[in-house]
Amino acid sequence: CIAYYGITQGTGDGTTYSPSQEVTRAQMAVFIARTAKAAGLDLGGTANARFNDIDGTWQEAQDAINRLASNGVIPSGGAFRPDDAITRAEMATFLVGLLVEVAPGVTKDSSGAILLGVSGSRSVADDRFPDTDDPEIAAIYELGVTTGASAAEVQDRTKPPLDLNYEPDGTVDRGQMAAFITRALAHTSVRPAGVSAQFDGADVIVSVRDDKYQPVSRVTVDVFWTTADRADSALMADGTCSLTEVTRADLSSFPCEIDDTDPVTGNDGDATVEVIGLRRVPAGGATVWAWTGQDGDTVAAGTDPYRFDVAEGDDVGFASETLVTTSFVARKARIGGSVLYTMQLRDIVGKVSTGVNGTDPARWSLSVRTQGVTDPEVQTLVSDGAGTVTFTIGLAARPANVATGDVVVTYTLTPEDNAPTPIVFANGQGAASGRVIFSDGASSIASGEATVFIETRAYVHVVGGFASNSATVTVLDQYGDPFPGAKVQLASSGLTGTVTLDTGELEVDSRGSRRFAYQYRGPGGETETLSVSHGVDSISSSGVAATVYWATDAGPAGSGPVLAGDVGRKQVVADDGSGPVLLAYDDNDRFNLGGAPATIAVFEAELAEALRRDDPGLNLTWSNYRPGSDRRVTEYELS
């Protein structure tokens, strides 16, 4: 890699590399200056950095030392010690100085602290080796430039260190230097001439460079991929794509073809291509191809697309939202109690363990204000290794200046370092702020106090004009506890067929629940509304309802909004214009998401996420469907 970019020219007559030969400080300055040039950093003309011991060093080394020091890449003035072997600690200083200038993800703040990450998600490098606290060494470790030197016996538990030694006083040979610089280059815009690509854990980054390794903008690129076990079948003997094997990774009209819907490189010569199917890399890994051409070009003999492999487990999962959940379903909590909330970082597919930069934890500010208390309580929440964090909203005792009635406690969550902006409940409603009402009043199921809900299936499959269902109605008091003696009544509407539902007033059990079982005979393709009334001495409407879709089998082709579904059963219900219809899919079918091919895992993740919302907000299109046919390949599109 470093020879390709002209960073090293070998040893002797250039035919040998001498990987075990120690690198001097003067040689390292030359290597860093050449790396800076390859990365597009103009170090300017020769300047005097006031070193008192470099006059006897060869001219390129003198120029490199002075120019690096004048640009702040390395310290200036005094003795440079050009002939000394460079240590591993000094190597870290040289590399961090360079990366601060050429890598967008490495910066220093006004205090000199090294920050890693892009704007809005930067954090201080804080990993620590047992044998050094050097922040520059911590930075190159977190960047993956070094992996440590030897195993360590961890002793100081007050500052949890890594289980590796860095050996900062050890020297660096030419082989190690090449590895250090190669890994550092990965954080810059340096890429080979022509087309290259890499996977950043979520998307494919395609780079186009000219013969001087400079970025080329406004170039159309195309990306396609397949699972690793099918890679050898992706291109046919004549060099064209096997369209039954490859999957387009972007919004192209067709795979392996350049068209006006393909992504275009920006001023940095890069194009970020969303590859939904790789948000969770398939078992066994994947193989990806990237290429460029003129509008209408297709992959053929002589195209020679850039190819690289993505290993299973390489997907990082960059957080795009925070999901807030709680088991608290009551209207009020008792004074003296508390409510627990759990926050989980998520991406488009599901749970992730790190924040928006895919590396570090996320942080939020939690402000809790209690009615009758002047100052809010503020704390910082930090996600753990699983991408979760919990907080509680409680009220130990009634505030002195709120003598009677309910007490309201509100919370506000503010995303801070590395936290995604959206904060939502499972139903899609915002969860960045909320409130808990605390009370010490007597148990009640009066209007505005009771919690009433219906548990039933979202859809029922009607076969031969017959199907059955059940619904459980639960009535709880304002604290979420059963209310002895409560009565409920369940009513059904919207169905034209015959329904055998007991609509009498029935008493709940000790858990506050009553189960209703009933049958339906009719054409199907109908939507039912179940509504509840409740009370003690007299029954009145609870204002609570549930929807049940009585779905028939879908036709061969159709389109309509998603109504319900069950990813576990691999079923989805949509409205084809005549009413709810049911489709059963399997891994033999083909799936698309937003115009791009997707794996069944990504399709199901998007579907499951939508089904958690009150309104799924998705449209399903299908073709070549036949109920009960496992061998038929049905095409599905979610949009």
As a three-state string, the secondary structure of 592-604 is EECCEEECHHHHH
333-334, strands of its sheet edge to edge:
333-334, 433-439, 407-415, 363-370, 377-382
Whether residue 15 is contained in a domain is answered as: no
Tell me the average pLDDT across 15-31: 90
Tell me the average pLDDT across 206-229: 90
The confidence score (pLDDT) of residue 23 equals 94
Query: CB count, 10 Å around CB of 545?
Result: 13
Query: CA 334 to CA 40: how far, in whole Å?
Result: 64
Task: Band the pLDDT of 347: cuts 50, 70, 90.
Answer: confident
Same domain assignment for residues 485 and 544: yes
The confidence score (pLDDT) of residue 50 equals 84
Contact 549, 460 (CB under 8 A): yes
Whether residue 261 is contained in a domain is answered as: yes
Contact 472, 498 (CB under 8 A): no
The confidence score (pLDDT) of residue 508 equals 94
Give the H or E element holding residue 98.
helix 88-102
Same domain assignment for residues 459 and 505: yes
Give yes or no for residue 157 having a pLDDT over 60. Answer: no
Same domain assignment for residues 380 and 246: no
Q: What is the CATH number of the domain that holds 332?
A: 2.60.40.1930
Same domain assignment for residues 104 and 137: yes
Percentage of the residues of the chain whose pLDDT score is greater than 90: 59
| β partners of residue 582 | 553, 573
Same domain assignment for residues 486 and 565: no
Q: What is the CATH number of the domain that holds 525?
A: 2.60.40.1080
Supply the range of the domain harboring residue 610. 554-639
Q: Is the dihedral of CA 32, 37, 39, 42 positive or negative?
A: positive
Task: Band the pLDDT of 161: cuts 50, 70, 90.
Answer: low
The confidence score (pLDDT) of residue 252 equals 67
Whether residue 560 is contained in a domain is answered as: yes
Task: Band the pLDDT of 156: cuts 50, 70, 90.
Answer: low
Tell me the average pLDDT across 370-383: 93
Domain boundary among 404, 421, 436: 436
The confidence score (pLDDT) of residue 120 equals 64
Whether residue 316 is contained in a domain is answered as: no
Same domain assignment for residues 413 and 371: yes
Give yes or no for residue 207 having a pLDDT over 70. Answer: yes
Give yes or no for residue 413 having a pLDDT over 60. Answer: yes
Task: Band the pLDDT of 631: cuts 50, 70, 90.
Answer: confident
Task: Band the pLDDT of 426: cuts 50, 70, 90.
Answer: confident
Tell me the average pLDDT across 338-354: 91
Whether residue 332 is contained in a domain is answered as: yes
pLDDT, mean over the chain: 90
Same domain assignment for residues 354 and 233: no
Phi-psi label, residue 167: left if phi above 0, alpha if psi -120 to 50, beta otherwise = left
- 246-250, 351-355, 459-463: which range is least confident on average? 246-250
Percentage of the residues of the chain whose pLDDT score is greater than 70: 97
Tell me the average pLDDT across 263-288: 88
Give yes or no for residue 104 having a pLDDT over 60. Answer: yes
Domain boundary among 263, 287, 310: 310
The encoded tokens of residue 87 equal 């240590």
Q: Which residue has the higher pLDDT, 561 or 159?
A: 561
Tell me the average pLDDT across 587-592: 89
**Domains in the chain, number:** 5
How confident is the model over 479-505, as pLDDT tens digits?
999 998 899 999 999 999 999 999 999
Give yes or no for residue 250 having a pLDDT over 70. Answer: no
The confidence score (pLDDT) of residue 518 equals 96
Q: Which residue has the higher pLDDT, 129 or 81?
A: 81
How confident is the model over 511-546, as pLDDT tens digits?
999 999 999 999 999 999 999 999 998 888 888 999
Q: Which residue has the higher pLDDT, 551 or 599?
A: 551
Whether the pTM exceeds 0.85: the reply is: no
As a three-state string, the secondary structure of 315-335 is CCCCCCEEEEECCCCCCCEEC
Give yes or no for residue 203 having a pLDDT over 90. Answer: no
Same domain assignment for residues 331 and 409: yes
The confidence score (pLDDT) of residue 346 equals 92
Task: Band the pLDDT of 280: cuts 50, 70, 90.
Answer: confident
Which residues, in sequence order, are CB contacts of 208 under 8 Å at separation 6+? 194, 195, 215, 216, 219, 221, 265, 269, 270, 271, 292
- Pick the closest to residue 437 from 468, 463, 402, 391 (CA basis): 402
The confidence score (pLDDT) of residue 357 equals 82
Same domain assignment for residues 393 and 490: no
Whether residue 604 is contained in a domain is answered as: yes
DSSP 59: H
Tell me the average pLDDT across 174-197: 88
Same domain assignment for residues 345 and 448: no
Same domain assignment for residues 422 and 461: no
Give the H or E element holding residue 393.
strand 388-394
Whether residue 3 is contained in a domain is answered as: no
CA distances from 390 to 320, 377, 378, 396 (A): 19, 16, 15, 19
Query: CA 9 to CA 7: how far, in whole Å?
Result: 7
Same domain assignment for residues 406 and 266: no
Please name the residue that has the structure tokens 């709120």.
Answer: 402
Please name the residue that has the structure tokens 């409205």.
Answer: 575
Domain boundary among 310, 344, 361: 310
Whether residue 485 is contained in a domain is answered as: yes
